[in-house]
Amino acid sequence: MSKVRSLLNWTVLAGLLVALGWVILNQQPLLDKWVVSKYQASPAIAALADNSGMSDKGRFYFYLADPVLESPEKFNSDCQRLEQGNPVLGCYRPDINQIFIYDVKNPELDGSKEVTSAHEMLHVAYSRLSKTEKNDLEVLLEQAYSKNKTPELEQRMDYYNTYQPGSRSNELHSILGTEFVDLGDELEKYYGQYFVNRQAVVDNHNKYSQKFKNITNELDSLSQELASLKIEIDNLSSRYTSEVTRFNQLANAFNQKANSGEFSSRQEFNSERGSLMVEQQALEQLRQELMDKIGVYNQKADRMNELGWHLDKLNNSLDSLKAVD
């Protein structure tokens, strides 16, 4: 009887040890589930999750980090800016496990908060990956980076290399997942864990970022047109000045000849006077051509100033420091 009881005790103890081992190995996931079970999303936060195409798993990691929309003053306090000229729209603080999102108010930039939400959610998800998973993922991320690399993306990654060394894969994980379409089948399948519709967040990114691209492209085009017009105006102005000088010389010679009675006949007088009037008409046409060119130049310059003001407004709307100036 004592042998049977002893065997049962060892069986129970072994079961408890296995259960304890499972709890220890799964401590973080269990804690995460408990945290999310206690979280109640506000309508604004829930809408960000909906509109960015998050799956249940993506929403889980988003809510896990207790995301909050913040005013400029509060956001500047919670999210550290590492370089003055590079505004941030959100941050995930692993030290307190919280996501902060700048509450952009400009309706022209609708979609920016959704992209920021998804971007920061992916940082949370990345923080829960094992070292092996991160190493495997790094290969896919670098392949997708090479495929989608642009000068702008290279510049962004240089920024992270300089100010946040060691964060490259983490940042690529968030940037590629929210801003680029063609990532390859394997990586697309991976992101399918976090999004039911990843295209929704990419569309949001394109919607607001395209405004900047359109303005910048038009500014570049106008700059070239103005440079070309200036050359034309300068050449036309020099030509007009020369023609005015030549006409004045002809007019003075005509007047001198008339005043001194050098014309032999009325016919000669009328003939030279007619030639002078033709010269005057040609000069007026040249002047009008010059004024038209100047008018076009001024219109394009006004448009360029208007676009510059608009671009500044959009940039300032994304800059939490400018909002409190």
Cα distance from N-terminal residue to C-terminal residue, the chain:
83
Provide the edge-to-edge strand list for the sheet that holds 90-93.
Answer: 68-70, 98-102, 90-93
The mean pLDDT value of the chain amounts to 90
Which H, E and C letters describe 271-317, residue by residue? HHHHHHHHHHHHHHHHHHHHHHHHHHHHHHHHHHHHHHHHHHHHHHH
At 83 the pLDDT is 66
- Is the model's pLDDT at 9 over the cut of 60? no
- Interval 236-290: pLDDT, tens: 999 999 999 999 999 999 999 889 988 889 999 999 999 999 999 999 999 999 9
Cα dist. 175→120, 275, 317 in Å?
10, 72, 21
Which phi and psi (to 5°) does residue 278 adopt? -60, -45
Contact partners, residue 323, CB within 8 Å, separation at least 6: 72, 316, 317
**Greater pLDDT, 9 or 64:** 64
Task: Give pLDDT, residue 44.
Answer: 97
Provide the pLDDT confidence category of residue 309 given band limits of 50, 70 and 90: very high
- Over residues 158-177, mean pLDDT: 94
| CA pair distance 126, 166, nearest whole angstrom | 14
What pTM was estimated for this model as a whole? 0.82
Average of pLDDT values for 87-103?
A: 96
Q: 84: pLDDT confidence band, cut at 50, 70 and 90?
A: low
Q: Is the pLDDT of residue 174 over 70?
A: yes
| Tokens encoding 124 | 């949370």
Confidence of residue 35 (pLDDT cuts 50, 70, 90): confident
Residue 95 amino acid letter: D
- Residues of the chain with pLDDT > 70, as a percent, come to 90
The pLDDT of residue 324 is 52
